[in-house]
Structure 1
């Protein structure tokens, strides 16, 4: 079973305006509401690609109920820990360029934390969990490390999509996959990474540090995949970028969906790049039809 964990989910409230004037009345052209959070995005894309998963994490209040009901309408299984305060609302303001206002999220108690730990302790060797996104301020910064320790003890595989120190600390536990973008990769090693050639040596260092597979996305410049046995580079399909939110999460979901079916890393990488591109070319998350339409245009070669 694939599980996704979103510690600080949100309702993403997307509003479009022709322009925005500070201090004035502004009227929207359109508004949309979606469940937000990196793990939730992975579950939603997996669902589009025909893969079942169960969404875990913390929700609370009327906003949390909205997220749970939305996912259940999409036939995505959920097992959230309910907290007292409301799940946050994040505002995505689109006025020709994207601006975001992200709320801090609800408080998580020690009791809430133990309930989540109990869920993770139930994982089995055949399970896989995706840990993705930010950590609420009221949880310890070591939470990801504590969770992957439990996964290792249970023999469960795990994927981590996090930044900086959070990512470095889990590498010794050998995640199946990590997927930094080139900016995040550069931040990890205090360098500037702007091309696949510059990314390769640092991705190899992450493999040496414990990651089984490393995908680095470089926007229009493509992506690379590095593991102990191969180094691959993908050219991304051509298209108009309409949306950057969820593209990285779609890459994770695409990789897992294809790898589960084929156990072929190269094919999983191709599906990953097609899924990320399909989301980037859409107003929301990708559809299976669009992913499969883009697959033949993803060119992969060994490097």
Structure 2
């Protein structure tokens, strides 16, 4: 079974406002409400590809109930742990002003609830896949990913980590199956600026030296690079298409990669599926459908 973890999920309220004016009452010209969070995005894309998975994490209050309801409506299975106090986040995203958003804080997660999640994760074993993606709420230990991977170490669980800085570097000793920094995050780890696909290859290999098995580096319009466990290196320019919504593109990429790997156990196919899923989501208002991903995959492989 595949599991994703979203510690601090949200209900994303995505709006457009024509001619937004600060300090005045503005009215929306379009509205969309979706369950959000990196793990949830991965679960959604996997579900769109027909791959069964379970979303884990914490929810609270009426917003938490709505997140679960909407996931169920979409066909995503979830087993979120309920927090009795506080409320899950509502994140306001203003589409008409690029990159403008206001994100909620989310509930305080107690040690007891963290341990409840840990016990659930300890049930995973050989053949299971676990996605750990995104930041850790301030109420939880900042070494949460390390704790999870330490408990699962040696159990045969295939772990994917999509995180930044120390959160990523500190788990490499547990040999995650896949890590996915973008070129800026990879450069930040090593104190360098990485602009081209050629630039990132040697630094991807440095992450392998620290313990990562496969390193998938996303580079927005520049494309992507895979430094694979078997020594192969793949690079690909960005597929042609119009950027509509970059939110969730990186999450879609890791979902597509793992879906491709599970399908054929072939790194080139997995790499192309990752690029196809990430780009298809970027070209779409919402996270990509199977048909959208397949269309971009054909564009990559048939040229």
TM-score, normalised by the number of residues in structure 1:
0.97
Secondary structure at the residue paired with 1:295? Answer: helix
> Helix, strand or coil: the match of 1:154?
coil
SS in 2 for 1:293: helix
Cα offset, 1:299, TM superposition: 5.4
Partner of 1:139: 140
Q: Which of 268, 278, 281 matches 2:283?
A: 281
How far the C-alpha of 1:285 sits from its partner, in A, is: 0.4
Q: Could you tell me how far apart the structure 2 residues matched to 1:107 and 1:153 are?
A: 31
| Counterpart among 237, 240, 243 of residue 238 in structure 1 | 240
4+ residue runs of structure 1 moved beyond 2 angstroms? Answer: none
Residue 110 of structure 1 is matched in structure 2 by 111
**Aligned counterparts of 1:247 and 1:55: Cα–Cα separation in 2:** 18
Alignment equivalent of 1:261, drawn from 245, 260, 263:
263
State whether residues 272 and 297 of structure 2, in contact with CA within 8 Å, keep that contact through their aligned partners in structure 1: yes
d(CA) in 1 for partners of 2:302, 2:99: 31
User: 2: CA distance between counterparts of 1:274 and 1:236?
Assistant: 9
Q: TM-score normalized by structure 2?
A: 0.97
Aligned-partner Cα distance in 2 for 1:36–1:171? 27
Q: CA deviation at 1:236?
A: 2.0
Asked whether the equivalents of residues 213 and 225 of structure 1 are also in contact (C-alpha less than 8 Å), the reply is yes
RMSD: 1.3
1:184 aligned partner = 185
1:120-159 map, 5 Å:
120-159=121-160
Aligned to 1:27: 27
**Retained in 1: the 8 A contact 2:178–2:213?**
yes
Displacement after TM superposition at 1:220 (Å): 1.1
Instruction: Report the alpha carbon displacement of residue 22 of structure 1 after superposing the two structures with TM.
Output: 1.3
CA deviation profile, 1:20-78 (whole Å, cap 9, x unmatched): 21111111101111000000000000000110100000001111111111111122211
The aligned residue for residue 249 of structure 2 is 247
1:235–1:300 CA contact under 8 A, matched in 2: no
* Structure-2 separation of matches of 1:136 and 1:96: 27
Q: How many Å separate the matches in 1 of 2:180 and 2:46? A: 16
User: Does the 8 Å CA contact 2:228/2:267 hold for their aligned counterparts?
Assistant: no
Q: Is the 8 A contact 1:234 1:300 kept in 2?
A: no
